[in-house]
Amino acid sequence: MIEVRDLVKRYGDTTAVDHLSFAVEPGRITGFLGPNGAGKSTTMRLILGLDRPSSGSALIDGLPYRDLRDPLRYVGALLEARAVHGGRSAFNHLLYLAQTQGVPKRRVSEVLELVGLSGVAKKRTKGFSLGMGQRLGIAAALLGDPKILILDEPVNGLDPEGVLWVRQLLKALAGEGRTIFVSSHLMNEMAVTADHLIVIGRGKLQADMPVGQFIAQFSDTAVLVRTPEAEALRAAAGERGWTVADTDLDGALIVTGSTAPEIGELAAARGLVLHELTPQRASLEEAYMELTRETGEFAHRPAPAWGGADGRA
Amino acid sequence: MSTVTDKVPVFAGLAPLPEAKGRAGFGGALRSEWTKIRSVKSTLWTLAAAIVIGVGISALGNWGQSSHTTETAVELAHKDLVQRTMFGIILGQLVMVVFGALAVTAEYSTGMIRTSLSAQPRRLNVFFAKLVIVTLVAFVVGEIISFASFFIGAHFWATKGVTLTLSTHGALQAVIGGGLYLVGAALLAFGIGAALRHTAGAITLGVALLFVINIITNFMPTSWQNDIDKWLPYNAGSQVWATQHVADVGTSFSAWSGFGVYMGYAVIALILGLWVFERRDA
């Protein structure tokens, strides 16, 4: 378990982390969410003992990170994708880490195999793509078979296949009872990956709750519908007590108070043609942005902003 | 890239790790730092360059001087030819500065310091392990440069009828001292590098202290020069690879007190570097 207690980090006049307290429990994925510059990376560096807090503490199972006997065997960390020397091979990068605490050499080859980098193990990391760099960082984090993983934006720069791979990996690791603390600035990524969310904005805690609760609390159930028979659909939806709004996307409607299956079934029952039926998460992303922008306005629910750039944010 | 399957048993196929024994300590840090040094080509090239430049300049200089000198063997015997054989150290020391500085600043410029310190958060272990490895590597390279320079130089002077061997008065100490002087250059730069965390800044300051400062003091009034000269790092340190000292005149240190002054500068830099390394955010 990771425990952050009243943690403060100031850089001159700037307060990067502002009296932050939370706990990260084992056996689940805790998403650490906030826009760029919210203080996520600083908090992670403080947990890892890389930076000294101005006040407060961050403990790993009750101990400061510096007092862990064999940190790699206990905590695996991915900080930035490029915290490697480009002139060193992937294998040697992991080897010098392994050697600090007697992790056997074959383990290096094993984790490289696990992340799919065996073929480039002897290559210098200078030529690695961002995605390969991330995989190497994940390999380093898994090197000591740690019970706690701290990952800063692990899907940054990964292609869709890589994103899915990380998501599955994290779920499997959490399923083994490990503590997973993963940061992201993308709400939608966290909504499908995390079990629990810790949201910060400007260094302050904005939300600490299960993902389901966050979604229920902050998202409208809204569905975007395109149909050539808009008036008939509007009338039918009205009978059910659903709200139908126009959008500035030509001809598209937004139905709230219902779900996509319900609308589809209603249309089928009435013989209405549908061209599109898309559940909307726009308000969840909006809620998150509002939450992190206006600190302290936790309970504030923003007005839905339909028909933005692509309506899905 | 790896294949994506549904429910991945994450560590399937991975042998379980043996139980952790003991804490991440100094032994592990030493092995780790040795791997860091030997696994980067730029470090190996820097060391090779130090040898090529150090030995090469010594050889060229002694070849030139020995073939153009008009002095007789008797006159030459009164010169400090032993020190002259290692003339290339003057340039070799600059490459050792690069080596010493890079050993620590490369970790900061690449960001890997955060990876290193999350694996080994007890920073004193990392600092001293790095220091030991840098010292040993610099010692080996430094001694290669001084011994190779001496033997090549001795060969040229032999053609002028001057015999230089390790049993020549003071020669063995001076030749070993040449290598030690180069270790000092690397350590000075290592300390500066840890304090500044910036490659170009550390190299510039190292080169300034060992080289440029000697040129600048040449423009000072003679009375100042007499007071300052012997304290300059190069002047103090180079006594250890000389066989003749003008200590009796009161302007120069003896071999080991000069070397002590020189290493004093390195120790000051190392203490500053250690303080920054231990205290400041990584």
How far apart (Å, rounded) are the C-alpha atoms in residues B265 and B185?
10
Contact A23, A3 (CB under 8 A): yes
pLDDT at residue A293, as a whole number: 65
pLDDT at residue A308 greater than cutoff 50: no
Q: In terms of Cα–Cα distance, which of A296, A259, A264 is closest to A279?
A: A259
Sign of CA dihedral A75, A79, A81, A85: negative
A4 vs B20, higher pLDDT: A4
Residue of chain A with shortest Cα separation from B282: A50
A9 touches chain B (CB under 8 A): no
Contact yes or no for A168 and B40 at CB 8 A: no
Backbone angles phi, psi at B120, to 5 degrees: -135, 85
pLDDT at residue A247 greater than cutoff 80: no
Residue of chain A with shortest Cα separation from B103: A85
Contact yes or no for B10 and A162 at CB 8 A: no
Share of chain A above pLDDT 90, in %: 62
For residue A97, give every residue at least 6 positions away whose Cβ sits within 8 Å of its Cβ, in sequence order, or none.
A72, A103, A140, A143, B32, B115, B116, B119
Burial A158-189 (b: 16+ CB within 10 A, else e): beeebbebbbbbbbbbbbeebbbbbbbbbbeb
Tokens 């990067």 — which residue?
A: A16
Q: How many CA atoms are closer than 13 Å to the CA of B276, on its beta-carbon side?
A: 18
How far apart (Å, rounded) are the C-alpha atoms in residues B45 and B42?
5
A213 vs A147, higher pLDDT: A147
pLDDT at residue A309, as a whole number: 37
Backbone angles phi, psi at A197, to 5 degrees: -120, 135
Overall fold of domain A220-280: Alpha-Beta Plaits (3.30.70)
Tokens 């030529």 — which residue?
A: A127
Tokens 């696994």 — which residue?
A: B39
Share of chain B above pLDDT 90, in %: 74
Average pLDDT over residues A246-274: 86
User: Residue B192: pLDDT band by 50, 70, 90 thresholds?
Assistant: very high
Domain spans of chain A, in order of start: 2-210, 220-280
Tens digit of each residue's pLDDT (9 = 90 or more) over B80-122: 999 999 999 999 999 999 999 999 999 999 999 999 999 999 9
Tokens 């009872």 — which residue?
A: A177
Tens digit of each residue's pLDDT (9 = 90 or more) over A122-160: 999 999 998 899 999 999 999 999 999 999 999 988 899
A127 touches chain B (CB under 8 A): no
3-state secondary structure of B49: helix
3-state secondary structure of B111: coil
3-state secondary structure of B181: helix
Lowest mean pLDDT among A4-13, A217-226, A266-275: A217-226
A111 touches chain B (CB under 8 A): yes
Q: Amino acid letter at A263?
A: I
Sort out which chain A residues have CB atoms less than 8 A from B105's CB and list them.
none
Q: In terms of Cα–Cα distance, which of A309, A297, A228, A237 is closest to A269?
A: A237
**To probe the interface with B, which of A88, A89, A170, A180 has the most B CB atoms within 10 Å?**
A88
Backbone angles phi, psi at A91, to 5 degrees: -60, -50
Q: In terms of Cα–Cα distance, which of A224, A210, A218 is closest to A283?
A: A218
Contact yes or no for A168 and B4 at CB 8 A: yes
Q: Name the helix (H) or strand (E) containing B248.
A: none
Tens digit of each residue's pLDDT (9 = 90 or more) over A86-105: 999 999 999 999 999 989 99
pLDDT at residue A298 greater than cutoff 70: no
pLDDT at residue B150 greater than cutoff 60: yes
Q: Strand order of the sheet with strand A2-11?
A: A14-24, A2-11, A55-60
Give start and end residues of each alpha helix (H) in chain B: 26-38, 41-68, 73-76, 81-85, 89-110, 112-119, 123-158, 171-196, 199-207, 213-217, 222-228, 233-237, 255-279
pLDDT at residue A271, as a whole number: 92
Interface predicted TM-score (ipTM): 0.90
Average pLDDT over residues B185-199: 98
pLDDT at residue A250 greater than cutoff 80: no
pLDDT at residue B86, as a whole number: 97
Tens digit of each residue's pLDDT (9 = 90 or more) over A55-78: 999 999 999 999 999 999 999 999
Give the closest-approach CA distance of A258 to chain B in angstroms. 31
How far apart (Å, rounded) are the C-alpha atoms in residues B24 and A14?
35
Share of chain A above pLDDT 70, in %: 90
B218 vs B35, higher pLDDT: B35
Give the closest-approach CA distance of B252 to chain A in angstroms. 44
Lowest mean pLDDT among A187-191, A197-201, A265-269: A187-191
pLDDT at residue A310, as a whole number: 39
Give the closest-approach CA distance of A8 to chain B in angstroms. 14
How far apart (Å, rounded) are the C-alpha atoms in residues B204 and B185?
13
pLDDT at residue A301 greater than cutoff 60: no
CATH 3.40.50.300 fits A2-210, yes or no: yes
pLDDT at residue A24, as a whole number: 98
Cβ-nearest to A103 among B7, B9, B17? B17
DSSP string, chain A: -EEEEEEEEEETTEEEEEEEEEEE-TTSEEEEE--TTSSHHHHHHHHTTSS--SEEEEEETTB-GGG-SSHHHHEEEE--TT-S-TTSBHHHHHHHHHHTTT--HHHHHHHHHHTT-GGGTTSBGGG--HHHHHHHHHHHHHTT--SEEEEESTTTT--HHHHHHHHHHHHHHHHTT-EEEEEES-HHHHHHH-SEEEEEETTEEEEEEEHHHHHHHH---EEEEE-S-HHHHHHHHHHHT-EEEE-SSTT-EEEESS-HHHHHHHHHHHT---SEEEEE-HHHHHHHHHHHHSTT-TT--PPP-TT-SSS--
How far apart (Å, rounded) are the C-alpha atoms in residues A150 and A157?
18
